[in-house]
Amino acid sequence: MSRRGNNIRKRADGRWEGRYYIADTAGSKKCKSVYGHSYKEVTERLLTAKAASLKQIAAPKQSVITIKEVAEKWLESIATSRKLSTIQKYSTIYNKYIKPNWGESVVDELNQNEILKELPETAGESVTKSIFCIFNSIIAYGAATYGTGEIHLSYRAKRSSVTSLNNINTINTTDQQKLTEYLLTELDIYKLGILLCLFMGLRLGEICALKWEDIDMISRTLHVNRTVQRLPVDTVHTSSSSKNNHTAKRKTSLYIDSPKTSNSLREIPIPDFIYDKLSDYYNTSMKCDSYFLKKNQPMDPRTYQNRFHIYLREAGIGNIHFHALRHTFATMALENGMDVKTLSAMLGHVSAVTTLDIYTHITGDMQRAAAASIDRSIGKAEPQEEAEPEQKGIVDFQPYVGKKRKPGTGCVSELNDHLFEGRYSPIWPDGTQHSRNVYAHTREECEEKLKTLIAEMNEERKNLKEQLAGIAPPEKLTKKQRKLWDYMRLHPEVTEFSTIAKRTGLARNTVKKHYGMVAAMLGRK
């Protein structure tokens, strides 16, 4: 049957169409249509549309409705369903571009050509896309709420935009070497956080919001569950009734939220090199609600970025944006043979397409290398000799696998193609394990530094052992109390609970509980 009722019919293309009438701004009737794949579906949509039309008629008639009126209502309607950072972005785009140019324009009088004429020339590719996206949402809301006309703005990117996307900032090999060596020297929790971003691809907001509970040392994975951003306070819903509301007086405030997208909720495997560094801090950290960089609250991204720039200056490196750490990680991963799908999951991208779009210059090189490999294997082509590169790149890096070293000789590891680490971890006379590191640009240089380090540490162990000779700890001490007694006997200058806990491997609460008793045994106040 082609027709069911006065206002519902079946079209030639197989779809069902329902028609209804609304009053336009001039007071005359205007025909509208809804569509569906079945009669029932169109009936439901028609009822909904008629109800909305009646609501509009009941409301005060507006002969003209402007973009400003619709936009403000639209922003209010999505305030509770979108992330605050998203609302802030929409508000910024609207206030900066849409409101000044089209705010007073009547919705029904706008068309795409007129909008394109008023488009700011200073707006870049990404900003223009955002303007069009927000514009479409405003117009769609106006059509559904006020019955205004519908237009869909489409934007065709310029050819040059693809090139601009690929101009990503990365840290070159020389600066990577300088930065890594600097961070490993006198390593602290802030430097360790930067290493996590460089070798695991974390965003600035993600590392600032990271908690110790997000790090699984057993499975050696790091869970990204949240991010922190600094947003204007007017986008944060604070109580304005209280005169003593401190938050309301501030221009900006930190806001903790879920990551950028649902895909950003992810697990990242911890590299062995980073795992060893994390272990020293993990055993002594407060793992309940303690943040990674700060104990009781997330680190301010602005503060951490400023600290990063200080590290760059001290390492003798030029100005680099913090996000370059993430780009560098992705570039290194692709150059070392990681597939795009895996990298996309580790970075938290929406899809592998996003990764391909951003790192086209790397994947293009990989495709050319693959094509050459296929040509050699299938086409039996002779491999072409390539010129020797001026500087060895990360793509040429091969981890060193040496022979098993004898006990007491330490170990040497190749961190990357330009940095070696030597480590010696002997057991101290007080029963604790002490690890010290040396770094060098070549294996030979690192071995020489390691020999000197071993000699110095063995001399310290000998002197401490002589100090303990003939001194027996009190009887009836538990294993933990004995360990604490041995350490405090040899290190009277150390009184910080956290430092003692870190060096003995005991919990901070355990040190705090028995410190007074052990101090009294040693004749200290």
What is the distance between the alpha carbons of residues 425 and 409, in angstroms, rounded to a whole number? Answer: 10
Spell out the domain ranges in the chain.
8-58, 67-156, 173-235+250-374, 405-468, 479-521
Q: Which residues contact 304 (CB under 8 A, 6 or more apart)?
A: 190, 193, 204, 207, 208, 293, 322
The candidate with the shortest Cα–Cα distance to 208, out of 273, 276, 254, is 254
Kind and range of the H or E run holding 289: none
Q: Which residues contact 448 (CB under 8 A, 6 or more apart)?
A: 440
Please tell me the predicted confidence (pLDDT) of residue 160: 42
The SS3 call for residue 126 is helix
Please tell me the predicted confidence (pLDDT) of residue 27: 56
Digitized pLDDT (tens) for each residue of the chain, 525 residues in all: 455 566 888 888 888 888 887 765 555 677 888 888 888 888 888 888 877 776 665 544 444 788 888 888 888 888 877 777 788 888 888 888 888 888 888 888 777 777 777 777 666 777 888 888 888 888 888 888 887 777 777 665 544 444 344 457 888 888 888 899 899 988 889 999 999 999 999 999 999 999 988 998 888 899 999 999 887 765 444 434 434 444 444 477 888 888 877 788 899 999 888 888 888 787 766 666 688 998 888 999 999 999 999 999 999 998 899 999 999 998 888 888 788 888 888 998 888 878 877 776 665 555 555 555 555 555 555 555 544 444 434 334 444 444 567 777 888 887 766 778 888 888 777 666 777 888 788 888 888 888 898 988 888 888 777 766 656 667 778 888 888 888 887 777 788 888 888 778 788 888 888 888 888 887 776
CA distances (Å), 62 to each of 56, 69, 100, 148, in order? 10, 11, 22, 11
Range 67-156 has CATH code 1.10.150.130: yes
Please tell me the predicted confidence (pLDDT) of residue 465: 72
Please tell me the predicted confidence (pLDDT) of residue 300: 92
pTM over 0.75: no
Q: Which fold has domain 173-235+250-374?
A: hpI Integrase; Chain A (1.10.443)
What is the distance between the alpha carbons of residues 466 and 406, in angstroms, rounded to a whole number? Answer: 26
What is the distance between the alpha carbons of residues 400 and 383, in angstroms, rounded to a whole number? Answer: 27
